[in-house]
Amino acid sequence: MLNTEFNWQMIIVWLLGIMLVLSIVRAIYSLWGRNDIHQSTKLLWTIFFILAPFFSFFFYMFFGGKSDFEVEEEEEEAIS
């Protein structure tokens, strides 16, 4: 039988899942855009993101991530 009741919990879970996936994609994009990390380290971070997405995202944000502003600032200093 088809359930016709509107399920808010399912929508909330889907939205949280989409937000998590977008956050991980943004973190990987930011990671591969950095020039101060060796390629093998970037690859290890990416594998960690794929194998343990929830924990790796927060671990990277707290311990390994630099904001885009900090990276741009360091690049400008290197050019000067």
Distance CA 37, CA 73 (A): 16
- Answer whether residue 64 shows pLDDT above 60: yes
Model confidence at 67, in pLDDT bands (50, 70, 90)? low
| Phi, psi (deg, nearest 5) at residue 47 | -60, -40
Model confidence at 74, in pLDDT bands (50, 70, 90)? low
State pTM to two decimals: 0.58
Q: What is the pLDDT of residues 25-50, one digit of tens each?
A: 888 888 888 888 899 988 988 888 88
22 class by beta-carbon count within 10 Å (0-12 exposed, 13-18 middle, 19+ buried): exposed
Average pLDDT, the chain: 78
For 1-80, where are the alpha helices, taking DSSP H only?
8-33, 39-51, 53-59, 68-79
Residue % of the chain over a pLDDT of 70: 74
